Amino acid sequence: MGRAGGVRVLLLTLPVLTLAGCGGDQSTLSPASPQEHKISVLFWVMLAVAWAGFALVVGLIVLGWVHRRKRGLPLGGGEKAGTALVIGLGVVMPIVLLTALFVYSDIFVINSTAAPDPSSTQRRIEIVGHQWFWEARYAGTDAVTANDIHIPAGVRVLVVARTADVIHSFWVPRLNRKIDLIPGQRNTVLLEASEPGIYRGQCVEFCGLQHANMAQNVYADPPARFRTWLAHEAEPARAPTTGQERRGQEVFMAATCDGCHAIRGTSADGHIGPDLTHVGAREGLAGLALTNTHENMLRWIDDPQSIKPGSKMPDLHLSRDDLRSVVAYLESLE
């Protein structure tokens, strides 16, 4: 490889390293829960053992090379000692070490991050993966959200995950390991944020054209604020108050948006797209492909296929006035 080639490799490598280094947002190595803390310790232990093993092998190779012109073992001893060395380092040590790592990782860590103690799990959230958004249902209430998932901080929350279509994978790297959402099966994982904060996650199983635009934010709220949020989220939608909002609701029903979306408290009861009962209060739209601003809501409803090609949201060819009314109505649903 010439000098230009080396520079090219360096240029290709740098952004990857930079991206890997700036992952405070979605890094498994900045844990924000007891479970993720165990996972990050597991990573460092595995890395340390791997490096120690690598150093040992390199050390033995160097020793052999230095000693190559002499007979016998570098540190003395005959054929018996050589056989003992091969059996000890080549057979016994790997078996002991790998067994210990297996018990530690696959039995202790996996069990403590996966199998929740039902008595200590106070809350249950059902997560449903869709092409391409996350639906979150809060057990014991009517609350349904999309992509913005709220949990109380410092509380063990059991996530029961299933899929409405293909295989997805739910992962909030700072909170716990990933779980796959498999058709016909329910998988569980714990979310237990130690501190209030926003923890971003992303679908990690290729699930079609918009796999990359299938993100979620987990909001860990102080428990009192969480209870207020949940009580509000469980309420039916607020009725339209202005003329434009009323017009927006009519257009929403007439343009058959209600066939795909539910708005609790109205006749809209579709289940293909996200529940929009409190869409006005959400931070993101379209699997977090967009932040929920007035401009973005207009763009999204006006031409969804240019923003998220392949998504199930069709272009309804609304007039400018109807579009503005629908947006006014949806924004009023806080």
Q: Which residues bind ligand CUA (CB under 6 A)?
A: 129, 132, 168, 203, 205-207, 211, 214
- Cβ atoms of residues 201 and 173 within 8 Å: yes
- Cβ atoms of residues 327 and 252 within 8 Å: no
Shorter beta-carbon distance to ligand CUA: residue 168 or 324: 168
Shorter beta-carbon distance to ligand CUA: residue 130 or 247: 130
Shorter beta-carbon distance to ligand CUA: residue 38 or 130: 130
Query: Residue 330 Cβ, how far from ligand CUA at the closest point, in Å?
Result: 24
Rg, the chain, Cα only: 27
Query: Residue 273 Cβ, how far from ligand CUA at the closest point, in Å?
Result: 15
Query: Residue 204 Cβ, how far from ligand CUA at the closest point, in Å?
Result: 7
Shorter beta-carbon distance to ligand CUA: residue 137 or 246: 137
Query: Residue 32 Cβ, how far from ligand CUA at the closest point, in Å?
Result: 23
Shorter beta-carbon distance to ligand CUA: residue 116 or 273: 273
Q: How many CA atoms lie within 13 A of 331 on its CB side?
A: 17
Shorter beta-carbon distance to ligand CUA: residue 102 or 206: 206
Shorter beta-carbon distance to ligand CUA: residue 129 or 248: 129
Query: Residue 182 Cβ, how far from ligand CUA at the closest point, in Å?
Result: 12
**Residues whose CB is less than 8 angstroms from the CB of residue 290 and which lie 6 or more positions away in sequence, other chains included:** 284, 296, 299, 300, 307
Query: Residue 180 Cβ, how far from ligand CUA at the closest point, in Å?
Result: 10
Neighbours of 113 (CB within 10 A): 22
Query: Residue 195 Cβ, how far from ligand CUA at the closest point, in Å?
Result: 28
Cα–Cα distances (Å) from 265 to 160, 236, 262, 277, in that order, read 26, 5, 9, 8
